[in-house]
Amino acid sequence: MVNAEIGVIGGSGFYSFLEDVTEVQVDTPYGSPSDSLFLGEVAGRRVAFLPRHGRGHHLPPHRINYRANLWALRSVGVRQVLGPCAVGGLRPEYGPGTLLVPDQLVDRTKARVQTFFDGLPLPDGTVPNVVHTTFADPYCPSGRKAALAAADGRGWQAVDGGTMVVIEGPRFSTRAESRWHAASGWSVVGMTGHPEAVLARELGLCYTSLSLVTDLDAGAETGEGVSHTEVLKVFGENVARLREVLFDVVGALPATEDRDCLCTHAHDGWELGIELP
């Protein structure tokens, strides 16, 4: 069932204004994704939108079924994924409203399944092999290039590169943790960028993060510290702008058959033991 070529994992704000959106429920060997897929057309491209936290934001970061989400997108034909997300800035110059397109990732999560290739049987009896996926550069270079150009075209000077550190959540960092992250040279902190990026790579999907800074993280600011209300407020103020950039990126991504980036060669030389959708 091929219905889309590009996936966007984000909130309903990214598809709710589209016309002729088709809601599709997808079953996967890993359970149910966060929500239905919402298929529509953007810039002449077929796009599948998936609410990362589900409608109503009922799934906290550590309970998102990341494997089901990525598998569901691939099963409808998606080969390139855009992952907009809200993050905290770890440097004073990365204040609210900053758009950063990271090129590196640090995983500080603790209890998330982060591979399809764990050697454990699937419900149909097939057993994936243990595969060690190359992940030195976690984001698609073609997608990053398109994202930066799209932001520039909208007059939004995005930060080119930087490291996203992903924490377990759902709580925010302590000041000590935040200062540690900043002292390590990392740029922004989020809760959903991993294992989303590595699972996309394991499925041979291109993955690009567009990280919107909604607050200065606890170690980079003074006062009472960040609140969820503040994050939602800043994200809401910027969602229309971010949607415009995302839609421009969709139109600028290479055609599926023209991809030849590192993402498409993730499994060169490996026997996977399972058939990808």
Q: Give the residue ranges of the annotated binding site for substrate.
A: 191, 215-217
d(CA 181, CA 106): 10
β-pair type (6-10, 80-89): parallel
β-pair type (163-167, 104-108): parallel
* 112: nearest Cα among 160, 166, 51, 32: 166
Q: Is 2 exposed, middle or buried (0-12, 13-18, 19+ CB in 10 A)?
A: exposed
Q: Which of 35, 107, 217, 248 is catalytic?
A: 217
Dump strand ranges (E) for 171-242.
188-190, 206-216
Residues 35/43, Cβ–Cβ less than 8 Å:
no
217 belongs to the catalytic site: yes
Q: Which of 215, 248, 258, 260 is catalytic?
A: 215
Binding-site residue positions: 12, 52-53, 191-192, 215-217
The most distant pair of C-alpha atoms in the chain lies apart, rounded to whole Å, by 54
Is omega for the bond preceding 170 within 30 degrees of 0, making it cis?
yes
| Dihedrals phi, psi of 5, to nearest 5 degrees | -120, -20
Binding-site residue positions for phosphate: 12, 52-53, 192
Q: Is 20 exposed, middle or buried (0-12, 13-18, 19+ CB in 10 A)?
A: exposed
* Helix 141-153 / helix 228-252 crossing angle, nearest 10 deg: 100
| Active-site amino acid positions | 215, 217
